[in-house]
Amino acid sequence: MKLQGITIDFYDKRTCGLLPDLCAQWDIRYDELEDNEELISYWEDSLKKVLSKTDKVVSGNVEGKSILYSADEEAIKIIQDEFKELELSTIEYDDIIRCEHCIKHDYIADENKLVEAN
C-alpha cells in the first residue's frame, strides 16, 4: 500500500535547502541539524496541528528521519496544508515497519475490516 506525506531528515543538512527560513539563524559550522530549534519547533507545531484534525496518519522516526504519512485522502490534504513548504512524497506502508516511536493508523486492520464486511 502506498502512503503520501512528508519526511524531514534531521541528519541531512540539505534539509535547510527545503526550509531556508528555518535555518537563517542556525550555524552550520558548529551545530548539528537536530539542534536547530526553529526546525524542531516547525516539525512539532505542524505535527500537533495535523494530529488535532486527524488520527489517520503514521508518524514517527525512521533512521533519523521524521515522517508523517497517510493513505487517507482527507489526511493527506491536511498534511499538505500544514506543511505547505514541503512537497509530498510517496512510500510503501511496509517501508515504515522500522519506525521507532510511531503514532500509527493501522491500515492493514482497516483493509481486513473491509474484506470481512463484504
**Would you write out the chain's pLDDT as a tens digit for each of its 118 residues?**
899 999 999 888 888 888 888 888 777 665 677 778 888 899 999 999 999 999 899 888 877 788 999 999 999 999 999 999 999 999 887 777 656 556 566 655 554 444 444 4
100-103/89-92 β-pairing = unpaired
65-70/58-62 β-pairing = antiparallel
| Helix, strand or coil, per DSSP, at residue 58 | strand
CA distance 118 to 115: 5
CA distance 103 to 67: 10
pTM: 0.78
